[in-house]
Amino acid sequence: MQFKKRKRRSVIVRLCALVVVLGFLGLGSVFVWMGMDTALHQTSGQAFCGSCHSMKPMQASFLDDVHGGKSTVGVQALCTDCHLPHDSYINYLYVKAKSGAWDVYKEYIAGAEDVDWVEKRKHANRYVYDSGCLKCHNNLEQGSELDNKQFVAHKPYFQKTVSKSCIDCHDVGHKNLMFHLQEVGKSK
């Protein structure tokens, strides 16, 4: 009888310990997730990205744009909304880590003075992801069907009969970027 009571008490103690351990693991996971989410958000906007000297022209032109500081509806895109893929969370994190490491290396070790921003603009569709555009403009395909002018313009894109990206047709995100790049060039 005594043996059964001890065995039962031992099982109860083990179950309680397991519940406590699982509770701490769950709580720890929530705190890690909240910390990661906060860190990802804090490193996604123009204040963080524009803190590097080489990004000052892009920051200034972004703040002049309707997607940035000149928004009339109070919505401001983050740099990562356009410059990271939104097709999967894993790909998003991978490209964020890869491009972030490259940017830090280029800014602080290799030197960003030799970057030809004018040339890079010719290949902007390598640095801007349609999945970011469609994340915010998620009803564009259906909305285009209701507006004949929009439908005609976007039909080849949604039918995948053209290989153009969103920014091949829409010059958005950095208003007057050439002006801001030239201003930096004058100050050198």
Amino acid at 72: T
Give me 62's structure tokens. Answer: 């972004």
- Number of neighbours of residue 85 by Cβ within 10 angstroms: 15
Cα–Cα distance, 31 to 9 (Å, whole number): 33
* pTM (two decimals): 0.76
pLDDT of residue 98: 94
Please, are residues 130 and 165 in contact by the beta-carbon 8 Å criterion?
A: yes
pLDDT of residue 130: 93
Q: What is the residue whose two structure tokens read 């999945």?
A: 131
- Number of neighbours of residue 174 by Cβ within 10 angstroms: 24
- Tell me how far apart the terminal alpha carbons of the chain are, to the nearest angstrom: 89
C-alpha closest to that of 99 among 113, 119, 79, 117: 79
pLDDT of residue 92: 94
Domain ranges, ordered by start, for the chain: 1-42, 47-186
Q: What is the mean pLDDT of the chain?
A: 85
Cα–Cα distance, 66 to 70 (Å, whole number): 5
Within its chain, how far is the Cα of 127 from the centroid?
Answer: 11
Long-range contacts of 137-146 (CB under 8 A, 24+ apart): none
Output the tens digit of pLDDT for each of the chain's 188 residues. Answer: 566 666 677 778 888 888 888 888 888 888 888 888 888 889 888 889 888 888 888 899 999 998 888 888 878 899 999 999 999 999 999 999 999 999 999 888 988 888 888 888 888 888 899 999 988 888 777 776 676 777 778 888 888 899 899 999 888 889 888 888 887 765 55
Cα–Cα distance, 188 to 63 (Å, whole number): 22
Contacts of residue 50, defined as CB under 8 A and 6 or more positions apart, other chains included, come to 56, 58, 59, 62
Please, are residues 107 and 53 in contact by the beta-carbon 8 Å criterion?
A: yes
Helix (H, G, I), strand (E, B) or coil at 156: helix
Please give the CATH number for the structural domain made up of 47-186.
Answer: 1.10.3820
Model confidence pLDDT, tens digit, residues 125-164: 888 999 999 888 887 777 766 767 777 788 888 888 998 9
pLDDT of residue 85: 95
pLDDT of residue 95: 95
Please, are residues 34 and 40 in contact by the beta-carbon 8 Å criterion?
A: no
